[in-house]
Amino acid sequence: MNLPAPLHHGLLIRRYKRFLADVTLDDGREVVAHIANSGAMTGLSDPGTEVWLSRSDNPARKLAWSWELARDGDGLVGVNTLYPNAIVAEAISAGQVPPLAGYPSLRREVPYGENSRIDLLLSSSDRPKCYVEVKNVHLKRQDAACFPDARTARGTKHLGELSAMVREGHRAAMLFLVQREDCAYFTPAADIDPAYADALERAVAAGVEVYCYDCRLTLESIRLNRPMPLRLHDGA
């Protein structure tokens, strides 16, 4: 997936009200940027963090600036949670996710479950439908990519709905997309949300497939990179 061009470099002044950030651009201007991310953004929202913003010329937008990338250590991290579905859909369509290959139809945001929408629905005339939920991951702890970075009752609900699809005879998959490339494996953040970690374990036992991929990030694009090992219990 290509990022908006050009991106504008700056330093974070502060993040506030969850969806707003004050940023000093390299030319000295101070701007307010929208953050398409409701999570804690642990380690990415400290004052002085290097950030990259995009700018929209749409006059209908309340804020022209959007926060796209942050630097953590030597690497880039994608912070825009609106992108993972598109990144994964692009990769599946290109055959880059072998476990989910071979479906001629891919639809996004399809209603299912209890007033929910599945991120991606894969279908074929000769095999069960595959319901794919995509979760954005950017929290890093030592070598591990972790999810969630805040309690998520909605995420726990989604795991139950995926399990229900398996019971109905369909395939169901949870795909964690890590918008960074400096982690060695994925594990649920059980200390942050034990209910989600327990629900993930139950979903796996029920037949929900779980996959994790990291991303290759540049200032021009974010692409699916490589599959990552999964550890349902960190240290296992």
Query: Does 42 lie in the same domain as 145?
Result: no
Residue with tokens 């327990």: 198
Task: Supply the pLDDT for residue 114.
Answer: 78
Q: pLDDT of 1-40, one tens digit each?
A: 999 999 999 999 999 999 999 999 999 999 999 999 999 9
pTM over 0.75: yes
Residue of 38, 1, 46 lying closest to 20 (CA atoms): 38
Q: What is the CATH number of the domain that holds 28?
A: 2.40.50.580
Q: Is 182 exposed, middle or buried (0-12, 13-18, 19+ CB in 10 A)?
A: middle
Task: Give the range of the structural domain holding residue 67, as residue numbers without chain letter.
Answer: 8-77
Beta-ladder partners of 14: 22
Residue 29 neighbours by CB under 8 Å, 6+ apart: none
Domain membership of residue 198 (yes or no) is: yes
Question: CA–CA separation, 141 vs 153, rounded Å?
Answer: 22
Task: Supply the pLDDT for residue 235.
Answer: 47
Low-confidence residues of the chain: pLDDT under 70 = 234-236
Give the number of domains in the chain: 2
Task: Supply the pLDDT for residue 33.
Answer: 98
Task: Supply the pLDDT for residue 113.
Answer: 78
Task: Supply the pLDDT for residue 233.
Answer: 80
Domain boundary, last residue among 47, 62, 77: 77
Q: Is 190 exposed, middle or buried (0-12, 13-18, 19+ CB in 10 A)?
A: middle
Domain membership of residue 234 (yes or no) is: no
